[in-house]
Amino acid sequence: MSVATAEFRAAGTDLSERRRSGVSRGPLIDIASAAEGGISWGADGAATIGALTTIADIAAGARVAAAYPGLAASAEGLATPQVRHLATLGGNLAQRSRCWYFRNPHIDCLKKGGSACPARTGNHLYGVAFDLGPCVAPHPSTMAAALLAYDATVTTDRRSRLSIAELLGDGSDGSADHALAPGEMITKIILPAPLAAERAAYKRAISRSYAEWPLAEVCARAVIANGTFQFVRLAAGGIAPVPLRLTASEAALQGKPANAGTIAEAAKLATTDAKPLPMTAYKLDLLEGLVRDLLERLAA
Amino acid sequence: MEKLAKRFSLAHDKVRVIADHVGGGFGSKGTLGVETIAAVELAREAKAPVRVVFDREEELSITGYRPAAEMKLSLLPSAQGGLKALSLAAYADTGAAVNSLIAGLARLIYPAEAKELVDFDVVSNLPPGAPFRGPGGPPMAFALEQAVDEAALRMNVDPIQLRKRWDGDPNRQRLYDWAAGLEVWRNRKPATSQTGRYRRGVGVATGYWLYLWQPGSSVELAIKGGRIVASCAVQDIGTGTRSVLANTVSRAFDLEPHDIEVHIGHSNLPEGPGSGGSRVTASVVPPTLLAIEKLKAEITRTAARTPLPGSNAPWRELIAAAPDLAVSAKRPEDGKPQPGIRPALREAGFMGLVFGWVFRLVNNIVVGAGVPSSVQVMEVEVDTWLGHVRVLNAYTGLAIGKLAAPALARSQAAGAVIQGIGYALYEARETDPKTGHVLSGSMEDYRIPGIADMPRLEVHFDEAGFDHVPGGAVGIGEVATVPTSPAIANAIRNAIGVRLTEIPFRPDRLVAALKGRDAA
């Protein structure tokens, strides 16, 4: 068995389904005891989260919720209580695509060694609205978008302090869900200390109330002082092959009064540079609605 | 059993079907599937038992589904405000199957001077569609009940009052009065009066199903070792057939349902009805009542001594002391219905009469008098920013006669609304347009409602209208789910001023409709 072709298994919440369907067939390496769990805190208030820390622990930790409310809310908002209880932060970052075509064992696709993306010309109802590469599946990691909003870095057993963009790439490689080398393992995630008086929130647009992969999701952070936005950070998932910063909206709010009018205008800019597919234009409406919802909550 | 005997040219006593518990029984269990035939042939070749098991992807791909349908409908009110004409054409995406009946069901409700109803099957290489809870009913109601709602809006008439005018069925007339009296209905706001992010609306819709029963259905009641045993070759598809039998018998003897031993699910028991078309309750309760009378007479006749005067459980004592014995009874014909109570097929005139006779002769199913009916009122909230629809309050009114097992009837009524909410808001079988591969082949990708998606739910039973049926009870399974999707659609129309004509009402369709854009 070669480490290079083996897949890691942390909690296995994603992997077990792919094993059962036959999409994953190669050797496995169980890392349940090989990598770190738990959260440690620096003197400056910055957190380092072990890759095997469960999503439930991130969602439930009082100190996480106080320092990084957007991260805690993102953790609370994903999957189901059963999955959150088992699933790990590292596993969430390294999970595979949720694309129908990728998950179907009878269909070839770019992520399974195929030469074309069948969803692009097929049914891509849940595909990207920012078409950045050959594969049209959005990145499935909710935590990646939250970590992007917090400028977190990721350390592996070979490299230290990769940005989320370095970890997941820019979406141009349709064959992979992340830019880790074969056999490379995430060990910890490091967050910078939170800003003074910052607020954060998270929301996903879905059809049901809970337990659904996001059609679009946003993690928003802001510092508001004297009624104006001093700092705004918006990261969105569910809309592109990688989580995206909504920089046009961020820039439009910088130094502007925190009221419904500026928020509505800035929310419209969330879709700047969007390239929707024939079936995904709706995601742009949802993205605008999410940004507006979150900023109004932060400004309230 | 008969289908297997026929398919393999065997005498009836050479086939035994055992189906103690049938799960997911709505649809796909009434026919002899390819897989069952293959299993029988393999078993005969191998001279060994063969078991067929579907994994989830197979189950969601090939074992039958409610076919999607595209419907075109127009209706014409008369100058006096009546219904003059109705046309409905339905094109059902049946895959490798035929015989969908959607438009035809509009024959039996809202009489008009002229109706043009046409059903088409669009046959393809996709897996075959199958009958699914109220086959044809929910899609028919989805189109027709939205059209009636739209007519009411354009005629500036209250939608319940318009239905009262256009639909003379006595069961539904009473349900309309119940619905019109609901506070949520009386307090609803006029359409398009709201502008905020969250908008609430209230909608109404109606539905019906045929009252069916199966001649020849027989129930045996026996005393074995001092206990009552009820037997019938019927099956429980999760809807409570055992409880219907146990309740009916235990009530007659002042016993508890668990005192009765119920034997069903075996083909060597006395002939029972198929569990399709909501026919089981109306087929098994009447012979059970007859058998109860026979059993009482038999117990009294054979009793060694009568219970002491003042005994608080005379039947319990008699049954405990009775020798082993058995009686049985066959489903009797119904009594004469009250004036105005007619079989649903009468709406189709002379042809309906003929169809009813042919149906009885060929399929051994009777379409009885009185129409099981359902009227539902739904209150929804729409988040116009995120395209999210939530059903806040659901009111389901049902006229299905007396309740043979009240707790189960309530659970069926609630379950039907839940399934209707799934149909309206979440469920969709997604396929690849090029290959036909089913893409939603897991419970992750095929969405059904979760507990947080459930409304507050109020069930109203109107128990009149079936006094001519021995026991007064008819089926509930299908009728209870028919009007949910159009009631939700009409509520959305009331909330946001836009009519959605494609289910499920997902966020992509909501935001597109709000922007006047075509959804994907």
What is the pLDDT, as a whole number, of residue B178? 98
Q: Which residues contact B412 (CB under 8 A, 6 or more apart)?
A: B239, B240, B476, B477, B480
Residue B137: how many CA atoms within 13 Å on its side-chain side? 27
Nearest CA in chain B to A123: B432
Residue of A100, A205, A279 lying closest to B445 (CB–CB)? A100
Residues of B with Cβ-Cβ distance to A212 under 8 angstroms: 447
For the purposes of burial, counting CB atoms within 10 Å of the CB of B87, is it exposed (0-12), middle (13-18) or buried (19 or more)? middle
Task: Determine contact: B517 vs chain A, CB below 8 A.
Answer: yes
Which DSSP symbol is given to B271? B
Domain with CATH 3.30.390.50 in chain A: 198-299
Interface test with B, best of A102, A207, A284 (most B CBs within 10 A): A207
What is the pLDDT, as a whole number, of residue B28? 65
pLDDT confidence band for B454 (50 / 70 / 90)? very high
Residue of B385, B437, B442 lying closest to A106 (CB–CB)? B437
Residue of B437, B447, B511 lying closest to A107 (CB–CB)? B437
Output the six-digit token pair for B77: 């009110």
Task: Determine contact: B442 vs chain A, CB below 8 A.
Answer: yes
Say what the pTM is: 0.96
* Nearest chain A CA: its distance from B44 CA (Å): 31
pLDDT tens-digit readout, A19-31 = 999 999 999 999 9
Task: Determine contact: B388 vs chain A, CB below 8 A.
Answer: yes
Contact A96, A140 (CB under 8 A): yes
Output the six-digit token pair for A103: 């998950």
Residues of A with Cβ-Cβ distance to B507 under 8 angstroms: 205-207, 215, 282, 286
Which helix (H) or strand (E) segment is A297 a member of?
Answer: helix A282-299
Whole-angstrom distance, CA of residue B113 vs CA of residue B85: 6
Beta sheet of B325-330, edge-to-edge order: B260-263, B227-231, B218-224, B325-330
Contact A186, A156 (CB under 8 A): yes
Residues of A with Cβ-Cβ distance to B388 under 8 angstroms: 205-207
Residues of B with Cβ-Cβ distance to A205 under 8 angstroms: 386-388, 507
pLDDT, mean of residues A144-172: 97
pLDDT, mean of residues A280-289: 98
What is the pLDDT, as a whole number, of residue B443? 85
Question: If we measure between CA atoms, which residue out of B368, B502, B486, B506 comes closest to residue B426?
Answer: B506
pLDDT confidence band for A1 (50 / 70 / 90)? very low
User: Does the B216-330 domain belong in CATH 3.30.365.10?
Assistant: yes
In this predicted structure, the answer to whether residue B419 has a pLDDT above a threshold of 50 is yes
Is the Cα dihedral A75, A76, A78, A81 positive or negative? positive
Residue B360: how many CA atoms within 13 Å on its side-chain side? 15
Distances in Å between the alpha carbon of B503 and those of A298, B507, B517? 35, 11, 16
Q: Which residues contact B161 (CB under 8 A, 6 or more apart)?
A: B152, B180
Can you spell out the DSSP letters for B48-78? S-------HHHHHHHS--PPPEEEEEEEEE-
What is the pLDDT, as a whole number, of residue A259? 97
* Nearest chain B CA: its distance from A155 CA (Å): 31
Residues of A with Cβ-Cβ distance to B437 under 8 angstroms: 104, 106-107
In this predicted structure, the answer to whether residue B479 has a pLDDT above a threshold of 60 is yes
In this predicted structure, the answer to whether residue B431 has a pLDDT above a threshold of 50 is yes
Task: Determine contact: B422 vs chain A, CB below 8 A.
Answer: no
Cross-chain Cβ contact A125/B387 below 8 Å: no
Residue of A121, A123, A285 lying closest to B439 (CB–CB)? A123
Residue of A100, A207, A213 lying closest to B506 (CB–CB)? A207
Give chain A's mean pLDDT: 96
CA A276 to chain CA centroid, Å, is: 19
Task: Determine contact: B439 vs chain A, CB below 8 A.
Answer: yes
Contact A32, A10 (CB under 8 A): yes
For the purposes of burial, counting CB atoms within 10 Å of the CB of A6, is it exposed (0-12), middle (13-18) or buried (19 or more)? middle
* Nearest chain A CA: its distance from B492 CA (Å): 15
Task: Determine contact: A280 vs chain B, CB below 8 A.
Answer: yes
β-bridge pairing A28-30 and A216-225: unpaired
Task: Determine contact: B431 vs chain A, CB below 8 A.
Answer: yes
Residues of B with Cβ-Cβ distance to A123 under 8 angstroms: 430-433, 439
First to last CA, chain B: 46
Task: Determine contact: B452 vs chain A, CB below 8 A.
Answer: yes
Whole-angstrom distance, CA of residue B495 vs CA of residue A8: 49
* Nearest chain A CA: its distance from B311 CA (Å): 55
What is the pLDDT, as a whole number, of residue B239? 84
CA B102 to chain CA centroid, Å, is: 15
Whole-angstrom distance, CA of residue B425 vs CA of residue B448: 9
Nearest CA in chain A to B382: A207
Cross-chain Cβ contact A207/B388 below 8 Å: yes
Task: Determine contact: A205 vs chain B, CB below 8 A.
Answer: yes
Question: If we measure between CA atoms, which residue out of B394, B349, B398, B346 comes closest to residue B369?
Answer: B346
pLDDT tens-digit readout, B308-350 = 778 888 999 999 999 999 999 999 999 999 998 998 998 888 9
pLDDT, mean of residues A93-105: 96
Domain with CATH 3.30.465.10 in chain A: 7-114+141-190
Q: Are B69-211+369-514 and B216-330 equal in CATH topology?
A: yes
* Nearest chain B CA: its distance from A41 CA (Å): 36
Name the residue with higher pLDDT: B30 or A79.
A79
Residue of B431, B453, B519 lying closest to A208 (CB–CB)? B453
Cross-chain Cβ contact A282/B512 below 8 Å: yes
Cross-chain Cβ contact A123/B452 below 8 Å: no
In this predicted structure, the answer to whether residue A2 has a pLDDT above a threshold of 70 is no
Cross-chain Cβ contact B452/A293 below 8 Å: no
Fold of B69-211+369-514: Aldehyde Oxidoreductase; domain 4 (3.30.365)
Cross-chain Cβ contact A104/B444 below 8 Å: no
* Nearest chain A CA: its distance from B434 CA (Å): 7
Residues 87-126 of A with CB under 8 A from B: 98, 100-101, 103-104, 106-107, 118, 121-123, 125
Residue of B442, B447, B511 lying closest to A208 (CB–CB)? B447
pLDDT confidence band for B276 (50 / 70 / 90)? confident
Distances in Å between the alpha carbon of B196 and those of A268, B187, B311, B491, B506? 18, 18, 68, 16, 20
Q: What CATH number is given for A198-299 in this structure?
A: 3.30.390.50
pLDDT, mean of residues A104-124: 96
Residues 138-197 of A with CB under 8 A from B: none
What is the pLDDT, as a whole number, of residue A233? 98
Q: Which residues contact A28 (CB under 8 A, 6 or more apart)?
A: A6, A7, A8, A9, A15
Q: What CATH number is given for A7-114+141-190 in this structure?
A: 3.30.465.10
In this predicted structure, the answer to whether residue A101 has a pLDDT above a threshold of 70 is yes
Contact B494, B377 (CB under 8 A): no
Residues of B with Cβ-Cβ distance to A209 under 8 angstroms: 390, 450, 452-453
Q: Which of B150-154, B240-244, B332-336 has the lowest mean pLDDT?
A: B240-244
Question: If we measure between CA atoms, which residue out of B419, B374, B423, B373 comes closest to residue B395?
Answer: B374
- This complex has an ipTM of 0.96
Residues of B with Cβ-Cβ distance to A280 under 8 angstroms: 520
Q: Which of A199-208, B58-67, B228-237, B410-419 has the lowest mean pLDDT?
A: B58-67
Which helix (H) or strand (E) segment is B250 a member of?
Answer: helix B241-252
Task: Determine contact: A22 vs chain B, CB below 8 A.
Answer: no
Whole-angstrom distance, CA of residue B184 vs CA of residue A111: 52
Tell me the angle at which helices B159-166 and B137-155 cross, rounded to the nearest 10 degrees: 110
Whole-angstrom distance, CA of residue A237 vs CA of residue A128: 10
* Nearest chain A CA: its distance from B206 CA (Å): 25
Counting residues of chain B whose pLDDT is more than 70, the rounded percentage is 99
Residues of A with Cβ-Cβ distance to B504 under 8 angstroms: 207
Domains of chain B by residue range: 2-62, 69-211+369-514, 216-330
Q: Which of A49-53, A162-166, B123-127, B372-376 has the lowest mean pLDDT?
A: B123-127
Task: Determine contact: B172 vs chain A, CB below 8 A.
Answer: no
In this predicted structure, the answer to whether residue B516 has a pLDDT above a threshold of 90 is no
Which DSSP symbol is given to A156? E
